[in-house]
Structure 1
Amino acid sequence: MRYISTRGEAPALGFEDVLLTGLAADGGLYVPESLPHFSLEEIRSWRGLSYSELAFNVMYPFVDDAIPADDFRKMLDETYSVFSHKAVAPLVQLDTNEWVMELFRGPTLAFKDFALQLLGRLLDYVLEKRKQHVVIMGATSGDTGSAAIEGCRRCEHVDIFILHPYERVSEVQRRQMTTVKGENIHNIAVRGNFDDCQRMVKESFGNQSFLGGKTQLAAVNSINWARIMAQIVYYFQASLALGGPDRSMAFSVPTGNFGDIFAGYLAKKMGLPISQLVIATNRNDILHRFMSGNKYEQHQLEHTLSPSMDIMVSSNFERLLFDLHGRDGQAVKKLLEDAAKGPVSIEDYRWRHARKLFDSDAVDDKSTCDTIREIHEQNEYLLDPHTAIGVRAARNCRRDSSVPMITLGTAHPAKFPDAVAESGVTVKPQLPAHMADLFEREERYTVLDNNIAGVQEFISKHWKNA
């Protein structure tokens, strides 16, 4: 399997190099040169498999020239054995043909664990094989940071630097990052927003001279192809649990950076019958404005009750644009250059092609709270604010009530107790036993100004071989 850049100017790479490179040399994102495709008969034969067995079938075509099958199976078994539910991604029914897929049963209580627990093991495997050291640099709007630290903290060949927006993540999210002990773990609170953090990461990948040529950066954000690859699996899992592939499914995906829903788009291209994908956003609604009106325009970022989606620059959207433009890297490059200057649209026929699969909705804080309260009153089931946005968007955008609608439950409600309290629900969500003492643990993090030079200087001084 070879991987190419969405901007068409970087060399094609194999899986190992894509894993370690993150952002392509031309500023683009790596995607497979071609996708594996599974027949309905083949997908049907996967009924009854464990999650790790299913994950092997879905993902191995992406890595088969880099990792022996037995080694990859072992990685997957280890990855998903740490999840707290035997089904790994269990389904909970809310109403007739309406479901939530709980993707928060991993060690950090968020869907990011599905990819980042695996990514840590992949990095360890490849870096040990190459006898190479890397510096992980990532930006988080809340959940990626803790999942990346948890997934990579035992890796012998990495130093981890995670940027989060200062005072813009929930206390649980922050403490999950800042209370993990390890000399190779560094949390940086940036006086800015997530887009500022993400911009610094992208610019640093584009020019790594601040590392003095002694090491290289590796990505844990969803620009890393391995993140997307791992997220494809649970679309297959949900479908098989509810009668697929003999019936089509619809999914509602709370998303800010577009990675999780792009994985669903790929699942469909790989042969899984999916009739609808709903982009569920909060007030930071650039994706909704594009999908509903063909206008891609950045607005001022707003702070909401769903901080993991407080994102205005959706990196993975570039991967969809690449497909919509017939995989023409030059066209994508020009479009994104124009988008940096002002509003852009794509040709109407391209936009209408996207609308055949995608719908979208933007849900404000009031509607988020209303949904948390309504679902709790109806089912005694507690949603976190991001999943609540997914449920509300699913109900607002649903095309066909006979098609199962599955909302991806992206985080545990205990990560957002303030949002739950604001909804009027009096039940306080409890952290699971392994996090019961979270608020008693010592925190370690450094607050830095919104200045890339200062952040790069900090990294250059604090990685282990500096």
Structure 2
Amino acid sequence: MHYVSSRGKAAELSFSQVLLTGLASDGGLYMPKAWPSFDVSEISSWHKLPYPELAIRVMKPFIGSFCSDAVFKKLVYKAYEPFNNFDVAPLKFLEKNTWALELFHGPTMAFKDIALQLLGQMFDHALCENQRSIAIVGATSGDTGSAAIEACRDKAPIDIFMLHPNNRISEIQRRQMTSVLSPNVHNIALGGTFDDCQTLVKEIFNDTSFNKRWTLCAVNSINWARIMAQIVYYFWASLKLGGPKAPITFSVPTGNFGNIFAGYAAYKMGLPIHQLIIASNDNDILTRFLKTGTMKISPVLSTISPSMDIQISSNFERLIFEMAGRDGEFVAKKMTGLRKNDEFTLNSNMLSNIRKLFSATSINDNQTKNTVTEAFARSGYCLDPHSAVGLAAARKVGVEGDIPTVILATAHPAKFPDAVKAATNVHPSLPPKFSKLLGAEERVTILDNNFTVVKNHIESILKKKGLQ
């Protein structure tokens, strides 16, 4: 399996190279050169497999000669050892034809653990095999950071620099990152929004000399391996609900478009999916796009679902690449338009093709809160605000007939205690190991939203560690 850039000019890379790379050299995102596919009978034969075994079968076509089958099995099983549920991603019934796919049973109680625990294992294997070191630079709206730090802490070949928007994530999210005092973990609180953090990280990766000097690597969903690992739970949910013979609808709380793009990838690999619902909060750029065909950036609004407070959905570039018949030049022009003019438009034919699989709606804070309140009052099931956006969106869009709908429950409610208490009048209890966070020492550097300032800060730390 080889990988190509969504902008068409960068060299093809192997999986091993893509794993340890951020953006492509032309600024694009790496995509598999061709989609592996499974027929319905093969997918059906997997219905009794435990999650790690299913993961091995779904992901194996993507990794090429990265490692032997035996080593890959070891990496996958080790990645999912820390999860507190044997199923890794259990399904919970919510209401008629609707289930929550709980993706928050990993070490940091968010769906990012499912991919990042595996990435941590793969990084360690690749670096030790080649006696290399890397500097991970990433941006987080709350959950990626803690999951990446947990996966990479105390790993000698890795230094991780994580940018988060100062005062724009929950206290639990912040403390999960800043209370990790491992010498290879470096937290940066940036003055600005998540989009500012993400833009700055892309600028750092696009600084070719800096990138090469320090061997930068990405853990955000711009890294294809993140998407690859997330594809698995779409197959898992389908198989648990009678698939793949019957199609399923997925409602996905969406910010950066990586989680839902994994659903599109599963669809391209042969999994019958009826509909992918893009569930947004008031930062509704994707909802507006599906209505008009124009992607137009607006100011970022603060909501009670802060991990989705995003206007620039980086992974949408991957879908445009697909809809444009993998025309990298076309994608590059559209991304240039977005950067220069804060907008671009796709033609009606492309928009129509996107609408065949995707629908979209936005849910405001009142609707989110009411959904948390209603679900808790009816069944005692507690949703975090992001998962509530997914449920509210599924109800709003509506599903035809008896097609099962799966809500991707992306975070444990205890990560957002203020929003949950306001909706249920009950303070969600933290698991014991997280209760210690509230009094723990924190280590974080607050920096201005300035490329040079952040780059110099990263470089000074790496120089002190003698990594040049």
Question: Does the pair score TM above 0.5?
Answer: yes
Residue of structure 2 in register with 1:331 after alignment: 330
The 1-side partners of 2:133 and 2:214 are apart by 6
- Please list every run of at least 4 consecutive aligned residues from structure 1 whose deviation after the TM superposition is greater than 3 angstroms: 208-211
Matched, 1:216 2:189: no
The 2-side partners of 1:443 and 1:222 are apart by 26
Aligned AA (1:102): E
Asked if the contact 1:208/1:216 (under 8 Å) is kept, the reply is no
The 2-side partners of 1:135 and 1:190 are apart by 19
SS at match of 2:344: coil
Asked if the contact 2:154/2:183 (under 8 Å) is kept, the reply is no
> What is the CA-CA distance between 1:426 and the residue it aligns to?
1.5
Asked if the contact 1:280/1:361 (under 8 Å) is kept, the reply is yes
Residue of structure 2 in register with 1:130 after alignment: 130
Q: Which stretch of structure 1 is more off in the superposition, 402-411 or 149-158?
A: 149-158
Aligned length: 464
Asked if the contact 1:208/1:217 (under 8 Å) is kept, the reply is no
The 2-side partners of 1:377 and 1:299 are apart by 35
Matched, 1:12 2:12: yes
Q: Please give the residue correspondences for 1:436-455 in structure 2 after superposition, counting only pairs within 5 Å.
A: 436-455=435-454
The 2-side partners of 1:399 and 1:95 are apart by 13
> What is the CA-CA distance between 1:342 and the residue it aligns to?
4.0
Q: Which stretch of structure 1 is more off in the superposition, 196-205 or 427-436?
A: 427-436
Matched, 1:299 2:298: yes
SS at match of 1:23: coil
Report sequence identity in percent.
52
Q: Please give the residue correspondences for 1:281-292 in structure 2 after superposition, counting only pairs within 5 Å.
A: 281-292=280-291
The 2-side partners of 1:366 and 1:215 are apart by 46
Q: Please give the residue correspondences for 1:303-452 in structure 2 after superposition, counting only pairs within 5 Å.
A: 303-340=302-339, 341-423=341-423, 425-452=424-451
The one-character-per-residue Cα deviations of 1:397-454 (angstroms, maximum 9, x if unpaired) are 123141000000000000001111222x112111112222110211110100111111
SS at match of 1:144: helix
Aligned AA (1:155): K
Residue of structure 1 in register with 2:101 after alignment: 101
Cα 1:401–1:431, aligned 2, differ >3 Å: closer, same or farther? farther
Residue of structure 1 in register with 2:58 after alignment: 58
Residue of structure 2 in register with 1:465 after alignment: 466
The 1-side partners of 2:40 and 2:445 are apart by 51
The 2-side partners of 1:276 and 1:402 are apart by 13
The one-character-per-residue Cα deviations of 1:146-172 (angstroms, maximum 9, x if unpaired) are 000001113221101000000000000
Residue of structure 2 in register with 1:248 after alignment: 247
SS at match of 2:295: coil
The 2-side partners of 1:442 and 1:407 are apart by 36
Structural RMSD (CA): 1.0
SS at match of 1:7: coil
The one-character-per-residue Cα deviations of 1:317-376 (angstroms, maximum 9, x if unpaired) are 000000000000000111111223143221101100110110001111111100000100
The one-character-per-residue Cα deviations of 1:267-292 (angstroms, maximum 9, x if unpaired) are 01100010100000111111111112
Residue of structure 2 in register with 1:232 after alignment: 231
The 2-side partners of 1:386 and 1:371 are apart by 11
Asked if the contact 1:292/1:359 (under 8 Å) is kept, the reply is no
SS at match of 1:43: helix
Q: Please give the residue correspondences for 1:125-164 in structure 2 after superposition, counting only pairs within 5 Å.
A: 125-164=125-164
The 1-side partners of 2:210 and 2:56 are apart by 38
> What is the CA-CA distance between 1:210 and the residue it aligns to?
4.1
Aligned AA (1:70): A
> What is the CA-CA distance between 1:29 and the residue it aligns to?
0.1
Residue of structure 2 in register with 1:166 after alignment: 166
> What is the CA-CA distance between 1:457 and the residue it aligns to?
0.6
The one-character-per-residue Cα deviations of 1:242-287 (angstroms, maximum 9, x if unpaired) are 0001111000000100000000001011000101000001111111
Asked if the contact 1:163/1:189 (under 8 Å) is kept, the reply is yes
The 2-side partners of 1:376 and 1:197 are apart by 35
The 1-side partners of 2:248 and 2:226 are apart by 23
What residue ranges of structure 1 are gaps of 5+ in the alignment? none
Residue of structure 1 in register with 2:23 after alignment: 23
SS at match of 2:20: helix
Asked if the contact 1:210/1:457 (under 8 Å) is kept, the reply is no
The 1-side partners of 2:147 and 2:200 are apart by 20
The 1-side partners of 2:342 and 2:157 are apart by 42
> What is the CA-CA distance between 1:314 and the residue it aligns to?
0.5
SS at match of 2:282: coil
Q: Please give the residue correspondences for 1:172-191 in structure 2 after superposition, counting only pairs within 5 Å.
A: 172-191=172-191
